[in-house]
Amino acid sequence: MSLGPFGRTAAAMITPFTTDGALDLDGAQALATRLVDDGGCDGLVLSGTTGESPTTTDAEKEALVRAVVEAVGDRAVITAGVGTSDTAHTVELALAAEKAGAHGLLVVTPYYSRPPQEAVAEHFRTVADAVGLPVMLYDIPGRTGTRIETETMLALADHPRIAGVKDCAYDLLHSATVIERTSLAFYSGCEEMNLPLYAVGGAGFVSTVANVAGPRARAVLDAHDRGANAEAARLHRLLMPLTRRMMADGLPGTVTAKALLGALGLPAGPVRAPLRPAGQETADGLVRAYRELVGAG
């Protein structure tokens, strides 16, 4: 087992809020500590989509990094989401996260404006040139409207600080090709792809489900590393009912993760508009799926 530049088993951590919607730094520190010390996570990704980055301020993002780094120190790799559709703003966020103590940066493809590939590449290079931290590219065309094409990724791999990819492109041939031809560390950003991507040379995962089931997600990779492939596949399948409840039943993972964490008495709080909280029936279904997973062999 090798630890990638952003860890191996990273949680896409939710951002806890107080009941009145303010940033809950005490809750963030408590949750981060639990995820690292008891939750099977050697990495935390802050201020991604699951962390409600569209509705947190720049100051809140910086404060969150400082608080989590203070709580877990060097026991985990802390990666800060800094991507926006504005290159200059992304650089500002990257510099602030570096100053706050982040160990790495997650930079999503510029969204909505759909820049051509040359502009996508220049965006990433500009951010990587501005900082001294490793950069993880976030390829999620279903949300951004633009993917990072294979040739673009191959070219970006030459940059000394572009070190990894959070892969939500659902294109295993593309991913395997880039893994084969570069040293980029590929992290699954889609729970159902955790094992398949790892099996073709991926570095690990960045997981929303790990907010509540990190040890179970980690066990899949551990089994694969032992050569117990049938066991890895079995453990992967056991995670699927909870994964479907959290990621594929019509609500964003932020909403379902916060509902389940709250039901388990863990730091979470409300979501910010335009997101809305899960209903009681959804929360009950999440708890049932979680308990079935925990009770499984």
Establish whether 61 is a catalytic residue.
no
According to DSSP, the residues that pair with 162 across neighbouring strands are 135
At residue 224's C-alpha, the angle toward residues 220 and 229, to 5°, is 100
Establish whether 290 is a catalytic residue.
no
Residue 42: closest CA among 103, 128, 107, 133: 103
The helix (run of H) or strand (run of E) holding residue 11 is: strand 9-12
SS3 51: coil
What's the rounded Cα separation, in Å, for the pair 43 and 36? 7
Q: Which of 61, 138, 258, 290 is catalytic?
A: 138
CB 195 within 8 A of CB 217: no
SS3 84: coil
Q: Which of 61, 166, 198, 290 is catalytic?
A: 166
Helices (H), the chain: 25-37, 58-72, 87-100, 117-130, 141-144, 150-156, 172-181, 194-199, 210-225, 229-247, 253-263, 280-295
Q: Helix 58-72 vs helix 87-100: angle between axes, to the nearest 10 degrees?
A: 30
Distances (CA, A) of 214 to 83, 224, 274: 25, 16, 28
At 174, list the tokens.
């593309």
CB 172 within 8 A of CB 197: yes
Residue 45: closest CA among 73, 64, 18: 64
Q: Is the peptide bond before 116 cis (omega within 30 degrees of 0)?
A: no
List residues with catalytic annotation: 138, 166
